[in-house]
């Protein structure tokens, strides 16, 4: 039972980080392979505050979000003018740089990592779930706000969005900062749930994992990120019986989904009554267009 | 007071200087065209005016005031740019694309009236208003991009190669519509590779060569200039259209 609970705890923690990345990648169209860096900042800050300064978990979480958000503001100023792939490479560099800073910082034990960080117990085990719930609500409201629609416009056609008068740079910055705050908070949750963190927990594999979950769940879908986070966190555990082979199965499962459904599980749609109606309407529109085209002269 | 005044504008891409001190002005109600060969800097000039590019040097004033560098502010001031390649939101319907043009506006009634006006100007768009705009033909997409520019309610419209890649019949439609734009009170700065057509509808013209304005004057006179004829209009052959 405790084992199952643990998987759900980890899923909820991953979900917080994934939601952030979903806003950045799924809704704004910016790929990042450095979000583990923001998680690391949050995790270490919360670990230091709760272990060395004996502050409550909540303080650690808030400080983690704040610090990651501030760092992302700086990163954004430097890198958001870069186009597509270049931004992605820059975030990769950022993630690795953060990891190396913690690896060489003796105050946090360098590469050996920090142990015996105060852990959630009994009642406080609810913290990751509550945080995840809040994160879902916040993300949902954000992507359905004017800000969120601006982000989608930037993703779809940056120049056209600019022509319409949308402040493209600001939209990107908002997405980056929100995603970094959520990643930082996820890092804090992780530190206080596991009780041990090391720099290598936050390597590029972690960043990649987050991106995989977002794409697997479906770009441009909050519900997709939720479903993706739970499935892909649980999947390696399901395959645990195969020991060394389990990550191979994990990889294969991801490949199968991506080949079968390139848009991800729930790409561009939401698991709500209105979201469902919308996606059905879009499907009908596509079918209608295909029919017109088959009859000839549809698009001409 | 000119509607738009560009003074000594310099733009570089890395070490390559694309604009080397361009000055021009556009008066209210005019159609002004910029003609020139590929790579002369025509699109660069429009992009610098609308804030997509940061000029290295120089000054742009609009309606007498200096406009900032920020593209979103420039749109708000009343300059709308229809870029080359007619960038539209492919996954949105024609009507939603048009409504996006009015993104910065709050005057619901006027927006509805403008939408109606766009549909009158482009009956083709009305027929296809519910269709996903990515499924439109090239000509229809150009009309959509121009219609969206009208929806911004800007006073100055920058058009970048609106006839590029269109069938001859559609090219004629596009130029007719540019003239109608003026009738609606818009001022137009037009960049075109189809110099012959552009000079026919324009009041004044600037000839841009390798980042410099080499000639300027009344469009009709420029069209008669032997050097221009030889370089841009194919002096020996009579134009087909």
Average pLDDT over residues B122-142: 90
Average pLDDT over residues A111-127: 90
Average pLDDT over residues B87-99: 89
pLDDT > 90? residue A193: yes
A296 touching chain B per CB within 8 A: no
Tokens (6 digits) for B61 = 């004033």
Mean pLDDT of all residues belonging to chain A: 89
Pick the residue from chain B with its C-alpha nearest to A165. B72
Average pLDDT over residues A190-197: 95
A1 touching chain B per CB within 8 A: no
pLDDT > 80? residue A281: no
A162 to each of A54, A55, A270, B157, B207, how far by Cα in Å?
A: 48, 45, 27, 15, 28
pTM of the model: 0.83
3-state secondary structure of B42: helix
Which pLDDT belongs to residue A128? 94
pLDDT > 80? residue A244: no
Q: Where are the domains of chain B?
A: 1-78+187-235
Of the ranges A108-112, A160-164, B85-89, B211-215, which one carries the lowest mean pLDDT score? B85-89
Residues of A in Cβ contact (< 8 Å) with B89: 153, 156-157, 160
Which pLDDT belongs to residue B236? 56
Which pLDDT belongs to residue A299? 43
Chain B nearest C-alpha distance from A81 (Å): 12
Interchain pair A289, B131: CB under 8 A: yes
Of A44, A38, A60, A203, the residue nearest A120 (C-alpha): A60
Query: Could you report the per-residue pLDDT of B165-209, keeping only the tens digit for each?
Result: 888 888 998 999 999 999 999 999 999 988 889 999 999 999 999
- Surface of B (68-97) touching A: CB under 8 A: 70-72, 75-76, 80-83, 87-92
Interchain pair A299, B136: CB under 8 A: yes
Query: Could you report the per-residue pLDDT of A247-270, keeping only the tens digit for each?
Result: 787 788 778 877 888 788 887 788
Query: Could you report the per-residue pLDDT of B39-72, keeping only the tens digit for each?
Result: 888 999 999 999 888 888 888 999 888 877 788 8
Chain B nearest C-alpha distance from A191 (Å): 42
Query: Could you report the per-residue pLDDT of A14-69, keeping only the tens digit for each?
Result: 999 999 999 999 999 999 999 999 999 999 999 999 999 999 999 999 999 999 99
Tell me which residue in A160, A162, A168 faces B88 most closely, judged by beta carbons. Answer: A160
Query: Could you report the per-residue pLDDT of B117-126, keeping only the tens digit for each?
Result: 999 999 999 9
> Among positive and negative, which fits the CA dihedral A57, A60, A65, A68?
negative
A138 to each of A23, B9, B47, how far by Cα in Å?
A: 11, 45, 37
- Split at pLDDT 50, 70, 90, the class of B38 is confident
Interchain pair A160, B103: CB under 8 A: no
% residues pLDDT > 90 (chain A):
63
Of the ranges A212-216, A291-295, B117-121, which one carries the lowest mean pLDDT score? A291-295
Q: Which residues contact A275 (CB under 8 A, 6 or more apart)?
A: A223, A269
Is the ipTM higher than 0.90? The answer is: no
Overall fold of domain A2-269: ABC transporter involved in vitamin B12 uptake, BtuC (1.10.3470)
Separation CA A212–CA B41 (nearest Å): 42
Separation CA B200–CA B219 (nearest Å): 7
- Split at pLDDT 50, 70, 90, the class of A298 is very low
Residues of B in Cβ contact (< 8 Å) with A299: 135-137
- Split at pLDDT 50, 70, 90, the class of A169 is very high
Q: Nearest 5 degrees, angle CA A44-CA A213-CA A129?
A: 55
Q: For an interface test with B, give the residue of A81, A162, A163 to mutate (most B CBs within 10 A).
A: A163
Which pLDDT belongs to residue A296? 58
Which pLDDT belongs to residue A293? 67
Which of A196-205, B10-19, B162-171 is the most confident on average? A196-205
Pick the residue from chain B with its C-alpha nearest to A300. B137
Interchain pair B103, A164: CB under 8 A: yes
Separation CA A52–CA A67 (nearest Å): 18
pLDDT > 90? residue B238: no
Average pLDDT over residues A134-139: 96
Of A233, A58, A38, A25, the residue nearest A139 (C-alpha): A25
Interchain pair A299, B100: CB under 8 A: no
Tell me which residue in B87, B103, B149 faces A159 most closely, judged by beta carbons. Answer: B87
pLDDT > 50? residue A137: yes
Q: Where are the domains of chain A?
A: 2-269, 271-300
Chain B nearest C-alpha distance from A219 (Å): 14
Which pLDDT belongs to residue B235? 60
Just give the CATH number of B1-78+187-235: 3.40.50.300
Average pLDDT over residues B116-138: 90
């Amino acid at each position: 039972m405790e084992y199952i609970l643990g998987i759900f705890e980890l899923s909820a923690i991953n979900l917080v980080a994934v939601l952030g990345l979903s806003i950045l990648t799924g809704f704004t169209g910016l790929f990042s392979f450095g979000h583990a860096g923001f998680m690391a900042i949050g995790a270490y800050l919360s670990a230091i505050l709760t272990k060395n300064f004996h502050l409550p978990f909540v303080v650690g979480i808030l400080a983690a979000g704040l610090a990651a958000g501030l760092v992302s503001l700086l990163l954004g100023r430097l890198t958001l003018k870069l186009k597509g792939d270049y931004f992605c490479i820059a975030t990769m560099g950022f993630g690795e740089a953060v990891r190396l800073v913690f690896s060489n910082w003796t105050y946090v034990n360098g590469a050996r990592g920090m142990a015996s960080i105060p852990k959630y117990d009994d009642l406080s085990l609810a913290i990751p779930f509550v945080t995840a719930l809040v994160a879902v609500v916040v993300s949902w409201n954000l992507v359905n706000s004017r800000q969120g629609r601006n982000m989608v416009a930037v993703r779809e056609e940056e120049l056209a969005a600019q022509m319409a008068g949308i402040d493209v740079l600001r939209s990107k910055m908002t997405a980056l900062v929100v995603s970094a705050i959520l990643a930082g908070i996820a890092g804090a949750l992780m530190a206080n749930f596991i009780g041990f963190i090391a720099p290598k927990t936050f390597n590029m594999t972690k960043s990649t994992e987050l991106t995989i979950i977002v794409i697997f769940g479906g770009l441009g879908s909050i519900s997709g990120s939720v479903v993706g986070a739970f499935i892909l966190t649980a999947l390696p555990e399901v395959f645990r019986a195969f020991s060394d082979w389990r990550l191979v199965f994990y990889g294969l499962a991801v490949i199968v989904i991506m080949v079968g459904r390139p848009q991800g599980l729930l790409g561009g749609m939401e698991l709500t009554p209105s979201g469902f109606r919308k996606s059905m309407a879009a499907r009908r529109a596509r079918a209608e267009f295909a029919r017109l085209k088959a009859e000839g002269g549809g698009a001409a | 007071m000119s509607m738009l005044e560009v003074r000594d504008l310099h733009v570089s891409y890395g070490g390559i200087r694309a604009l080397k001190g361009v000055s021009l002005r556009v008066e209210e109600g005019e159609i002004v065209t910029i003609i020139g060969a590929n790579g002369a800097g025509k699109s660069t000039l429009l992009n610098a005016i609308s804030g997509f590019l940061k000029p290295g040097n120089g000054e742009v004033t609009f309606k007498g005031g200096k406009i900032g560098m920020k593209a979103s502010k420039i749109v708000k001031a009343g300059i709308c740019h229809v870029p080359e390649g007619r960038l539209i939101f492919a996954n949105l319907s024609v009507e939603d694309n048009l409504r996006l043009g009015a993104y910065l506006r709050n005057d619901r009634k006027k927006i509805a009236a403008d939408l109606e006006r766009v549909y009158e100007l482009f009956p083709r768009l009305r027929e296809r208003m519910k269709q996903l705009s990515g499924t439109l033909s090239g000509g229809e997409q150009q009309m959509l991009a121009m219609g969206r520019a009208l929806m911004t309610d800007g006073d100055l419209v920058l058009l970048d190669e609106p006839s590029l890649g269109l069938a001859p019949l559609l090219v004629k439609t596009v130029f007719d519509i540019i003239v109608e734009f003026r009738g609606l009170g818009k001022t137009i700065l037009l960049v075109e590779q189809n110099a012959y057509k552009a000079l026919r509808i324009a009041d004044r013209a600037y000839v841009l060569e390798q980042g410099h304005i080499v000639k300027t004057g009344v469009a009709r006179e420029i069209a008669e200039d032997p050097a221009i004829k030889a370089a841009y209009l194919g002096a020996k052959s009579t134009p087909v259209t």
